[in-house]
Chain A
Amino acid sequence: MAHSSLLADLVELNEVLDADSAVDLEQRKQRDRAIGIDSQRYRNRPAAQVRAWLQQYRVTTAHENGLRSVRLYHLLCLVLVIAGLLAGWGLARTVLSYDGRQPINIVNAVVVLVLPQILLLLLWLLAMLPARLPLFSRTGAMPGFLNPGRLAAHLATVFGAKGRRGLSMLWDPEQAAILAPAARWLFSFWSQLFAFSFNVGALAAAFFLVTFSDLAFVWSTTLSISNEAFHQLLVSLSVPWSGLAPDAVPGLDLVAGSRYYRLDEGSLAGTAVLSPRQALELGQWWPFLIAAISTYGLLPRLLTLVISWYRLRFHLRKALCNLPGAPELLARMNSPLITTLAAEPEQAFAPATDHTARTPGNTHYALRCPVIHWSGVCGYPDEISRRLEAMGIEALDFLRAGGRQTTAQDIDLVTSLCKQKPQGIGILVKSWEPPLLDFLDFLRALRRECSAKTPLVILLWSGEDTVRAADLETWQATLAQLGDPDLHVEAVGQAA
């Protein structure tokens, strides 16, 4: 898969994860696990898993920023290739220009076209040393200004999307801690692309000149270097290609024949005028020049270009898994989806809003009435009587209903009680037990059998404790559903 699509994925993932953090986690868990199961074949390849996730995510969302970033990236690559070709072509044309008067100094040509490249290659090696080594992290940054990759980054910042939304996210300071290695290799890739194109341009120019013009090469020195010594140096330089292209290794005759002496008024050693054969021989340096540029310029740059491409891919993949939110995404994709939540929404419960059964506290009733123990309220009758009297209720009799009594017994009690036409009826209940429909049935029966105006006083009993406000509230709210204006709810107070 091309690294340009990796780059697009990285830009998009960064954007998508940012937005996705606002989505409910449960939804994310369900969605991501489903995608995780679908992409089981990538199980041990986290970057591939993240990309598979993004692929599914894209179905529902636009992904223009990634494509735009890749377009910009390709454009910058093209600009660098063209710039490299032109620079290489231009420099080679300049160095190899020959108007028939002054032959080309082969040493100059090699020094200009090959030596700087070797030096720049050494700088590249220095820049690519591991940044984690404290000393190298500084030295590595030093040759940055020489890097055409950084120039491309400046162009991308000027022409691309701003901040973290485009290609420039790679060198955005906020993201530097995650994306710096990828950015470093992107710059390296760009610079090596330029350098490779430069060498192609230089070689193309050299071939062009060799093919379509008549070049003459010489060599010269101020030092007392013998032809043999210079030849030996050239043989050493030619070692890499001597096996493959022996014709590109200059012979001693060529070296001796092309030595240039200024004192001889610009003539070659011992020769006043060049014969056609000699002129032809002077052109025989070109295989050496081509081989030198190819070996010391083109091939190393091809190698560094491939290394940069490979490392860029590696770090882009790594960055995909390290973006904020990506490790969590992978965890969601690879963990079983466990749910313990309700399978369906709860039916709405509408509490009663009519609170007619509510009565203010501290009411004095002045009632003489029977009191029914509902469901076996515990307590001594004397104690209960005393506390009811404090509320103005004199208990004429204590009766039982609910609990172990049968519903038939309850009905009999209601019938006999109402026949006596009591002033009111007190019903003692446990304050902590909520009023059930069973109890509401009993109240309805009482109201049916007794006079509509007979006060029914529900007495909340809490033994030695004070009735809790929440319990009183519960009783009041529930009994309000009956809509009975003569139904009262009272908390039985503490003994004085």
Chain B
Amino acid sequence: MSAPVFAIVGHPNKGKSSIVSTLSQDESVAISPLPGTTVDIRRYPMTVDGEVLYELIDTPGFQRARAALEWMRGHAGSAVERSDTVRRFVDEHRHDSLFSAECSLLEPVLAGAGILYVVDGSRPFGEEYEAEMEILRWTGQPSMALINMISDADYSADWNKALGQYFRIVRVFDAMTADFERRVQLLLAFGELREEWRGALEKAVHILREEQARRHTLAARVIAETLARTLTHVRSRRLTADEDMATARDTLLQEYKQDLVAMEQHCRDEVEQIYNHRKLERHEPRALLLDEDLFSQQTWRLFGLTRRQLVATGALGGAAAGSVIDLAVHGASLLLGSGLGAVAGGVSAWLTAERIANVRMLGHALGGKELSVGPMRNLNFPYVVLGRALLHWRMIEQRTHAYRGPLELTPRPEQVQLIDATTRRRFEKRFSRLRKRDNRRADLVASLALLIEQI
């Protein structure tokens, strides 16, 4: 059995391309307020290792539906001949520029495609739609109407009444905001058009769900990898004999920060690519990227830990280190090691809250001096990177491919995802091992990814 094919048809500018773009997750679909943006049909097959499971066809909108219907009425004897009359119309006008839009959109329908008729439910119903709906009825193909809510006003009740006279199934679908679950529900609804299409669509939905889960895992892994890289990154440079130490230190620190920013940008690019967003424009003040973005006070206030959390986190690490002494003396120290470790860790976290990374001067084996910055010692930093990455990821995951506005990355307090104390402890354990350059980095990244996935 051949894969089900669905032609997205309708009036121009009612969101046909937006629906195709959202369902196919293809941002290359041209979407414009000007009528006639789609000039020819375009196919969007869903393939799994080359096997086509279903196909969507974006079509140009009706341009001369009244005239086309008049021709058909003039050539059809009875209801029995209607489908053949539509076919005759297409055959006779295929090369006629007057009806190029009508022929283009009717051809796949006459070849057996299911009809998905799209209207804008945020605008009132009008009599100009009747001719096109009548033509579609004449084709005799299974059809469904989709009420796309382009703006805020709601005329869906009127549309339901009108569409109900021409289409057996009417659904409301917002192509701009539909989340993944709504998208797959709509695909499943296409299966209601014809019984034999249901199996292929259910299989497609199952595969899409698996793919979505894979994307989720992959994105979490990319974020975990970025965290590991930013935490363990070291930048070093050999100093010349006459180089000013303070200037070299500032330059190297700035370069180190730039490296971290580049790593964050790379992480975003990767996450966007995972979700097929390649042309995304991000709204970030480029000129202020370094000091007002990843390292800005506002960013750290929003995504970082509070002083209290910071001290608690530091104390946790200190207690863990101190407990080694308690263990070594079989508890004879009455947990003094853990206690003192916690106090030392907490105080240290408080005092070094503003410090980014260690700057060290090393003697070089072959003579001369080497200046080195990193790895990141600031307890707050990974939480800032994590918080920002989670915000970006959530925005990307929810964004449909029909939406073409820029991605606003200026965080608002309500968008910041809070991490509870238990999860933070789990994160801290792994961050601490990464800071120490634990040999089991791969395992740590994998467990970090798992934690991120579960947030």
| Known contacts A21-B266, A174-B232, A433-B128: A339-B66 contact under CB 8 Å | no
Q: Are A337 and B49 in contact (CB under 8 A)?
A: yes
B124 CB-CB contact with A under 8 Å: yes
Interchain CB contact (< 8 A) of B438 among A177, A378, A436, A441: A177
CB neighbours of B12 from chain A (8 A): 434, 436
CB neighbours of B36 from chain A (8 A): 349
For the complex, give the distance between the alpha carbons of A136 and B62 in Å.
77
CB neighbours of A328 from chain B (8 A): 218, 221-222
For A341, the closest partner residue in chain B by CB is B26
Interface residues of B in 1-55 (CB under 8 A from A): 11-13, 23-26, 28-30, 32-40, 42-50
Q: Are A407 and B47 in contact (CB under 8 A)?
A: no
For the complex, give the distance between the alpha carbons of A328 and B273 in Å.
13
For the complex, give the distance between the alpha carbons of A318 and B446 in Å.
14
CB neighbours of A336 from chain B (8 A): 48-49, 207
A404 CB-CB contact with B under 8 Å: yes
B413 CB-CB contact with A under 8 Å: no
Interface bin, chain B: 35 or more
CB distance from A47 to the nearest CB of B (A): 13
Interface residues of A in 17-76 (CB under 8 A from B): 21, 24-26, 33, 37
Looking at A205-213, A243-251, A473-481, the stretch in contact with chain B turns out to be A473-481
Q: Are A338 and B64 in contact (CB under 8 A)?
A: no
B130 CB-CB contact with A under 8 Å: yes
Count of A interface residues, CB-CB < 8 Å: 62
CB distance from A482 to the nearest CB of B (A): 14
| Known contacts A37-B49, A403-B127: A25-B66 contact under CB 8 Å | no
CB neighbours of A178 from chain B (8 A): 441-442
A272 CB-CB contact with B under 8 Å: no
Q: Are A435 and B35 in contact (CB under 8 A)?
A: yes
Q: Are A335 and B25 in contact (CB under 8 A)?
A: no
A155 CB-CB contact with B under 8 Å: no
B63 CB-CB contact with A under 8 Å: yes
List the count of A-B residue pairs having beta carbons below 8 Å apart.
Answer: 170
CB neighbours of B438 from chain A (8 A): 177
Q: Are B42 and A346 in contact (CB under 8 A)?
A: yes
Q: Are B211 and A338 in contact (CB under 8 A)?
A: yes
| Known contacts A338-B211, A339-B47, A341-B24: A473-B64 contact under CB 8 Å | no
For the complex, give the distance between the alpha carbons of A251 and B292 in Å.
86
CB distance from A24 to the nearest CB of B (A): 7
B67 CB-CB contact with A under 8 Å: yes
| Known contacts A174-B234, A342-B26: A375-B34 contact under CB 8 Å | no
For A407, the closest partner residue in chain B by CB is B67
CB neighbours of A436 from chain B (8 A): 12, 35, 61-64
For the complex, give the distance between the alpha carbons of A343 and B55 in Å.
10
CB neighbours of B34 from chain A (8 A): 349, 351, 434, 474, 477-478
For A326, the closest partner residue in chain B by CB is B442
CB neighbours of B61 from chain A (8 A): 436
B225 CB-CB contact with A under 8 Å: yes
Q: Are A324 and B437 in contact (CB under 8 A)?
A: no
CB distance from A351 to the nearest CB of B (A): 6
Interchain CB contact (< 8 A) of B441 among A177, A406, A430, A435: A177
| Known contacts A173-B234, A176-B437, A438-B66: A346-B29 contact under CB 8 Å | yes
Q: Are A344 and B437 in contact (CB under 8 A)?
A: no
CB neighbours of B123 from chain A (8 A): 432-433
CB neighbours of A402 from chain B (8 A): 66, 128
A347 CB-CB contact with B under 8 Å: yes
Interchain CB contact (< 8 A) of A340 among B26, B37, B214, B270: B26
CB distance from A340 to the nearest CB of B (A): 4
For the complex, give the distance between the alpha carbons of A345 and B42 in Å.
8
Q: Are A349 and B33 in contact (CB under 8 A)?
A: no
CB distance from B36 to the nearest CB of A (A): 7
For A327, the closest partner residue in chain B by CB is B221
For the complex, give the distance between the alpha carbons of A276 and B44 in Å.
101
Interface residues of B in 404-445 (CB under 8 A from A): 434, 437-442, 444
Which of A132, A337, A346 neighbours the largest number of chain B CB atoms within 10 Å of its CB?
Answer: A346
For the complex, give the distance between the alpha carbons of A245 and B372 in Å.
60
A270 CB-CB contact with B under 8 Å: no
| Known contacts A37-B49, A178-B441, A180-B439: A438-B30 contact under CB 8 Å | no
CB distance from B350 to the nearest CB of A (A): 26
A300 CB-CB contact with B under 8 Å: no
For the complex, give the distance between the alpha carbons of A324 and B63 in Å.
54
CB neighbours of B232 from chain A (8 A): 174, 177
A131 CB-CB contact with B under 8 Å: yes
For the complex, give the distance between the alpha carbons of A430 and B155 in Å.
15
CB neighbours of A321 from chain B (8 A): 442
B229 CB-CB contact with A under 8 Å: yes
Please give 18 more A-B residue pairs, beta carbons under 8 A apart, in addition to A132-B440, A341-B25.
A25-B270, A131-B439, A173-B437, A178-B442, A337-B48, A339-B46, A341-B24, A341-B44, A342-B28, A349-B36, A406-B66, A432-B123, A434-B35, A436-B61, A436-B62, A436-B64, A438-B67, A477-B34
Closest 6 CB pairs of A and B: A177-B441, A25-B273, A434-B35, A322-B442, A437-B63, A403-B127
Can you identify 11 A-B contacts, CB atoms within 8 angstroms? A131-B439, A176-B439, A180-B439, A337-B49, A339-B47, A341-B26, A341-B44, A349-B36, A404-B130, A407-B70, A441-B64
Chain A residues with CB under 8 Å of chain B are 21, 24-26, 33, 37, 131-132, 134, 173-174, 176-178, 180-181, 318, 321-322, 324, 327-328, 331, 335-347, 349, 351, 375-376, 378, 402-404, 406-408, 430, 432-438, 441, 470-471, 473-474, 477-478
